[in-house]
Amino acid sequence: MTSDRQAPSNVSADRSVGFIGTGIMGRSMAGHLLAAGHDVHVFNRSRAKAEPLLAAGAAWHDTPGDVAEASDVVITMVGMPADVEEVYFGGTQAVPEGCGLLARSHPGVLLIDMTTSSPALACRIASAAAARGLAAIDAPVTGGDVGARAATLTIMLGGDAAACERARPILGRLGKSVTRLGEAGAGQRCKLANQIAVAVGMVAWCEALAHARAGGLDPAAVQQVISGGAAGSWGLTNLAPRAVTGDMTPGFLVKHLLKDIGLARACAADSGLGVPGLETAERLYALAAAHGWGDEGTQVLYRLYDHGLAPEAGA
């Protein structure tokens, strides 16, 4: 469908952008699009989480399909693969039949899933979208709540090359790096590689600082010393300072990282690849979740060591 609206010079031709999922990261991301002059249409399971955006000028809709009807481009940033499937295909109590994105998007709409999800689901969505005259790409991100607020996310694209190019002006308002890795599912596969590095790296800095503390050193001081050298990582620089002060405010939830680990392990198994480091991280994060910390930030892993709850070698 061609719109007769004229986009101002500071927005792309796709002026009307739908945004589904206004949680920890999505709220900031949608806010950047509003600030850039886009007409933003939102849906979230909990309307309360969208209220700051509505106060800033976003339009509320009662279903994902309603968002699709009002938009040239729709971005989804939800929690789990099951949530992605529900939003796109509908047929559930929360999103009834005929109220999903695929059913209600007009021909020419571009659908961008920025959730970390399954590569197979990304391929399924892309195929279903193409059959309806739509375009769909997977565009998961890394950078957490900090990157979402600062618009410095790293965005990994999978899908048709022309659709990915069309998405760039909008995605460029959300991140500092936008890279196409291949066809549908490639963005998700890259993100799972990222999550392997994140999860295993989290174990590394937690264990390093716990080792320092056990030897009578101040873990905060050790963090400052080693973060600038070969041991440095994003987690050690940004999450470790929170962890050692007991701040477990989530930038990314433990339960979501466990979901990502499960997806990565399944893909690795399909490829015949062993991932022993990831298996170790999964055991530790599952233990954190068993202690009731699934809704804490991923830096809560340090608490296992700090509280003497990490299993001993061989356990």
Report the catalytic residues. Answer: 191
- The C-alpha atoms of residue 143 and residue 296 are separated, in whole angstroms, by 17
- The C-alpha atoms of residue 284 and residue 72 are separated, in whole angstroms, by 43
Backbone angles phi, psi at 43, to 5 degrees: -140, 140
- The C-alpha atoms of residue 119 and residue 102 are separated, in whole angstroms, by 18
Give the alpha-carbon dihedral of 145, 292, 140, 89, to 10 degrees: -120
Smallest CA-to-CA distance from 61 within 84, 24, 30, 37 is with 30
